[in-house]
Chains A and B, each alone.
Chain A
């Protein structure tokens, strides 16, 4: 009898596996907190925004007297910078969306591993970022006279993948900061566009005052863009590998910091009983 009772006892709750949490978030987050699964948004982000942003700055450069090389420089910069929409702005908004949907508290008490959870959320944004840069660079070649030799494709592909990863990591970091904020929309807007000024998107970083150059160095976009420009210009593997390392480090540091922030604010939420307090 005792044995029968023991066997009838409900099983001890176990944490879901890493891959299950990762996959569940990769599939579900775009439909919920990322709000990403609308075809019009995806197509607009991938095809329309890069084109209009590149056209805008190309004409600004042309009005300012810039030649073909300046326009090509701007075109590459903006082709890459548009990843911020899918990787930074959208990922950063997940915290807001969780609060709005009323699911934040449930998320905080779930046993799911946080690393797998947030990494899973980043999967679709990484893929959309890759598509955005690919389309942007295609526009750069077809419309703005940029030359990308076929021999540079492997180096360029590595640079683009690393940049997408680092930018999504940065978006997760901002999402962690946004846990403490009333809304993440201001943070999202700042970092959506700040790269245009501080990351060497439209003009070389050396044009900026030193203090602003240091700020730019703290952004993953700066290193990602430098790696992509170096790859397109056919840079040797040695210098390119250094830039890849810088991009990867910026992504890893961002994800590490985001995990730390989430852990800190989770503890605070459990101590105060509310995540909505700010």
Chain B
């Protein structure tokens, strides 16, 4: 057995073990899904009320937006907690000093956050559909499902970058709480980003979900007016920014591991 194989197996096992632990922690205290769902459910209902009478496809806006907010919240909070819990429990340094790369530990947690976010999105969908009295019209359900899953992947990548950045900052809680609405606005969760002032668009395009969500709306809302380049280039942009985020996350985690080995702890940050 070569060293590479050992490392490869270890990484898979690490991610699987981390995912399993995250799942067990969730089962032990599933109420933590609720805080990240309350706001999206309420925002979904408020938006449904505000969109009422605006047209048949506005229900899709409300559901898609609220579902995205649920998953976004789960990713944002979950990722912050992914490193925050290690710091709080005093397990950050031992985990990073372990032979397995820390990135794969966090990856397992992020994957679980994505699954929990999907579950939250489903609950949001059910609540808003019940309030509206029926499901929204979807012209292309298969493309919708595929793109929806892709949006989840882009969210997960953003989550990994946040998790990496949170290792170095005392302001993780601040970013989560204060930045929540800013992310909802900036990534166009509930409305197309093109409605925002033009100067904000380049900032919004730094986030992979902005691209992916625009593509998702193109295929699910007839007559949707998003970025002028259409859903094909949206997908290209989403893939490119997602790859960049994955690269940034890998680099930052590598730096974190070196920092621990050099300094001996992560208390100073």
Contacts and interface: CB of A to CB of B under 8 A. Distances in A.
B177 A56 contact: no
B223 to A, nearest CB: 13
B246 interface: no
Contact of A63 (B35, B52, B191): B191
Contacts of B125: none
B34 A203 contact: no
Chain A CB within 10 Å, residue with most, of B34, B45, B47, B196: B47
Contact of B31 (A56, A186, A196): A186
Interface stretch (A39-47, A126-134, A233-241): A39-47
A59 B51 CA distance: 11
Interface in B11-64: 31, 34-35, 38-39, 42-43, 45-47, 49-52, 54, 58, 61
B51 A41 contact: no
A152 interface: no
B190 interface: yes
Interface residues of B, number: 31
B179 to A, nearest CB: 8
A52 B200 CA distance: 13
Interface in A194-219: 194, 196-197, 202-203, 207
Contact of A193 (B39, B47, B171, B177): B39
B38 A185 contact: no
A53 B181 contact: yes
A186 B185 CA distance: 24
A62 B195 CA distance: 9
A185 B31 CA distance: 10
B81 interface: no
Nearest to B55: A65
Contacts of A65: 54
A32 interface: no
Contacts of A40: 171, 174, 178
B182 interface: yes
A48 interface: yes
A193 B191 contact: no
B214 to A, nearest CB: 14
Interface residues of A, number: 34
Contacts of B177: 41, 44
A192 B38 CA distance: 9
A197 B58 CA distance: 18
A131 B185 CA distance: 23
B184 interface: yes
A61 B42 contact: no
A107 interface: no
A66 interface: yes
A243 to B, nearest CB: 23
A102 interface: no
Contacts of A190: 38
Interface of A: 38, 40-41, 44-45, 48-49, 52-53, 55-57, 59-66, 182-183, 185-186, 189-190, 192-194, 196-197, 202-203, 207
14 contacts: A40-B171, A45-B178, A52-B184, A56-B185, A59-B185, A59-B190, A59-B191, A59-B196, A61-B50, A63-B195, A186-B34, A196-B46, A197-B42, A207-B49
